[in-house]
Structure 1
Amino acid sequence: MLTAIAVTSSELVLPPSDRHTPTAVVLQPPGRQELEAALVDMQVLIEQHGYVIALYPSSIDQGFARRLHTLRSVMESDRIALLQLDLPPLGAAVLARQLRQLSLGDFSPGVLASAAGLLAHYIYAGALLGSVAKLDRVSVSLRSHVTSWVPGAQFGVLAGPTPQLVKAGTEAPPAGPSFATQLTVANGQLQSDWVTTTLARHWRVQDVRESPLPAESPRWWGTSKLIEFAAAISDPGVLYQLVASVRRDICYWCGLEFIGDQCAFCCATIQRTETPSPHGGAVARYEAPASGRPR
């Protein structure tokens, strides 16, 4: 039984890298589906897959985000993980595809869900912009703001893992990954080959794939004159080894395995102290929210 990966838009469902990668379930916003119908659909997903990992960008409509939390609250289920992603839209879609790939492996649902935070650090997500005048998600200098009004100026912006901004054509591209990646590119209303030639060559990407531009991208980047890109690990074997190499803990509340400091399903957190335990390693101390029950 494969853990279901769910997303909030069909644009976050990128074509699979291979014929084995399962697709993702597309959740419907409140304006397209009544709450009762959404509850039925979620219950069916749980019955079919056991667990559901729902990914949603931090930029989505807040009404949609509230709907997701309402579903989980009404169902009182610890089988639904709600993961908010701070990645740009195309980067979020790439992360969703990576989790779809990993869902074929033997990772438990808790490890698979908490792996999202780990994998996000290995996704180099950015865009080539025709203007940074309205960009508010990446720090932009006053000089760059002024330059953005110059006709023909273009900027290479990296949102993560380390934010960077360069003037395309006159400055070196942002520092890229030191590991093998596949570059996914989505074209907006900007004409340039800087991403597929200069950036791809500088980053030594193994493959370049085109994808439709997510509808949310212009709002996220503050302009429709853009070319969005995301470089990430595409080899399932490498992804598996990366996640498998991280220490795992057992959640004291729901009993699921997880990596990192928080269980993605029940949201119980763990804090490790520097005091060594009698058996070696750090002492793990768990904490639940003030309400007493993680949610």
Structure 2
Amino acid sequence: MADIPSTGHVGEAGARRFAMRGEGIGERSAAFVAFAREETDAGRKVVALYPAWRSSDAERAVNFARGAMRTDHIAGIGVDLSPLALSLVADQLAYLAPYLPPGMVAALCDELPRHLLAGAWLKTVSGLSTIPTSMRQHMGSYAPTVSFLAYCAPTRQVGRMRPADVAAALPFRPVQPVQLLCSTPDPGITGIFDDNLPQAIQPVATRTLPAQPLGPEYWGTAKYVEFVALSAHPQALAYAAGSIRASGCSWCGEPVSARSCPFCSANAARASSRPSTPRPAPRPAPPPANGHDPHGAPRPPGGAPSPSSLPGPAHPPPAGPGHPPPPPTDGPGGPPLSSLAPRPETPRTYSR
């Protein structure tokens, strides 16, 4: 629920977008309210993501939809990520949605960013207000040779860009193979970024995307290169979903991981557990015309979408009974997820 276009990284499985444009709040929220009414009338729940740093209109639209339809089947969730990272997470959630109950999709809004390395190279932090900065960093912004690396996931931090220390200072490394997405409103300033960060991350593929419209607002400057590094391991999505410990909501029964249910706001008071029976996908993502899966990797036999290029933790936990999407396998039934821990392998390129 913001002017955050899709990265196209998951193909046709992307999330619906609502740019929230218009003269008044009614006009800005009309498209979302109509969508929410259609989904709830069909018996489905809605998980609405919006940037936590630009939340006013989205919160009002969600509250209006809940009140107008007298339903608690619409959950509004603010996500404190940069536009490029938020766009990717929203599409990943849309890819997961057919395989998971709505409460687990909502829980993944907090979990998926923990498996990404997202941030930006900045020429200055003098206008940066979304990530904590120090007075010394603000003063350093006036030096002509100083630049910064700011991270919004998995942690929020800002540090001075020192080429010799970039690799050692990375707060997180996704599981290999790694893909790198980047964008900038000014292609003429990418030299320092190109010479340092990709060498530290060592991606198997890099995609340059159009700049996000809200990027300058989030980063406080137009002199930036925004990036997201994510794992392209085939089982990364299953590990992220399997790492969530859910509790049944004491009121509506939805499996949630937060203390308060994002739908009905009741306490999740039941015993912690994972859902015991996988939910079948009502409709898998349609294959693109080029015969590849939504992530650019060859589509496995049978047309099932491959969750490659979705993020996974550095040491993925064993996936339990939960609701992970069915992974691509060599046999009809496939091995259990717990036997598929990532192993070093020949790097593959998953770019489209």
Once residues 213 and 31 of structure 2 are traced to their aligned partners in structure 1, the CA distance between those partners, rounded to angstroms, is 25
Contact kept in structure 2, 1:30 and 1:67, CA below 8 Å: no
Aligned counterpart, 1:22: 13
1:136 to 120, 125, 129: 129
Partner-residue secondary structure (3-state), 2:125: coil
Once residues 236 and 42 of structure 1 are traced to their aligned partners in structure 2, the CA distance between those partners, rounded to angstroms, is 32
Once residues 125 and 151 of structure 2 are traced to their aligned partners in structure 1, the CA distance between those partners, rounded to angstroms, is 12
1:116-164 alpha-carbon deviations (Å, 9 max, x no partner) = 1111222222111111112122232333222211224321111232233
Q: Which moved more, 1:115-124 or 1:218-227?
A: 115-124
Contact kept in structure 1, 2:15 and 2:93, CA below 8 Å: no
Q: TM-score, normalization: structure 1?
A: 0.78
Contact kept in structure 2, 1:128 and 1:227, CA below 8 Å: yes
Aligned counterpart, 1:66: 60
Partner-residue secondary structure (3-state), 1:266: coil
Once residues 104 and 209 of structure 2 are traced to their aligned partners in structure 1, the CA distance between those partners, rounded to angstroms, is 29
How far did residue 45 of structure 1 move?
2.8
Once residues 142 and 260 of structure 1 are traced to their aligned partners in structure 2, the CA distance between those partners, rounded to angstroms, is 35
Do the aligned partners of residues 208 and 37 (structure 1) sit closer, same or farther apart at CA in structure 2, a change above 3 Å counting? Answer: closer
Once residues 28 and 192 of structure 1 are traced to their aligned partners in structure 2, the CA distance between those partners, rounded to angstroms, is 28
Once residues 163 and 112 of structure 1 are traced to their aligned partners in structure 2, the CA distance between those partners, rounded to angstroms, is 23
Give 1:179's aligned amino acid.
V
How far did residue 272 of structure 1 move?
8.9
Residue pairs, 1:231-270, within 5 angstroms:
231-235=229-233, 237-270=235-268
1:120 aligns with 2:100: no
Aligned counterpart, 1:153: 146
Partner-residue secondary structure (3-state), 2:120: strand
1:184 aligns with 2:181: yes
1:232-270 alpha-carbon deviations (Å, 9 max, x no partner) = 345563212321243222112112122343322223233
How far did residue 84 of structure 1 move?
0.4
Once residues 63 and 71 of structure 1 are traced to their aligned partners in structure 2, the CA distance between those partners, rounded to angstroms, is 12
How far did residue 186 of structure 1 move?
1.0
How many residues matched? 263
Once residues 26 and 66 of structure 1 are traced to their aligned partners in structure 2, the CA distance between those partners, rounded to angstroms, is 17
Give 1:217's aligned amino acid.
G
Q: Which has the higher strand share?
A: 1
Aligned counterpart, 1:286: none
Contact kept in structure 1, 2:174 and 2:229, CA below 8 Å: no
Aligned counterpart, 1:279: none
2:83 to 77, 81, 89: 89
Do the aligned partners of residues 115 and 48 (structure 1) sit closer, same or farther apart at CA in structure 2, a change above 3 Å counting? Answer: same
Partner-residue secondary structure (3-state), 1:172: helix
Once residues 182 and 269 of structure 1 are traced to their aligned partners in structure 2, the CA distance between those partners, rounded to angstroms, is 38
Once residues 55 and 164 of structure 2 are traced to their aligned partners in structure 1, the CA distance between those partners, rounded to angstroms, is 36
Give 1:93's aligned amino acid.
S
Runs of 4+ in 1 over 6 A off after TM superposition: none
Residue pairs, 1:195-210, within 5 angstroms:
195-210=193-208
Contact kept in structure 2, 1:182 and 1:234, CA below 8 Å: yes
Contact kept in structure 2, 1:186 and 1:228, CA below 8 Å: yes
1:55 aligns with 2:52: no
1:193 aligns with 2:191: yes
Unaligned ranges ≥5, structure 1? 1-6, 274-295
Contact kept in structure 1, 2:256 and 2:268, CA below 8 Å: no
- Report sequence identity in percent: 26
1:176-198 alpha-carbon deviations (Å, 9 max, x no partner) = 32523422101123512343442
Give 1:164's aligned amino acid.
Q
Give 1:22's aligned amino acid.
A
Do the aligned partners of residues 170 and 231 (structure 1) sit closer, same or farther apart at CA in structure 2, a change above 3 Å counting? Answer: closer
How far did residue 87 of structure 1 move?
0.9
How far did residue 92 of structure 1 move?
0.8
How far did residue 28 of structure 1 move?
4.8
How far did residue 55 of structure 1 move?
0.6
Once residues 48 and 84 of structure 2 are traced to their aligned partners in structure 1, the CA distance between those partners, rounded to angstroms, is 16
Give 2:73's aligned amino acid.
R
Contact kept in structure 2, 1:185 and 1:227, CA below 8 Å: yes
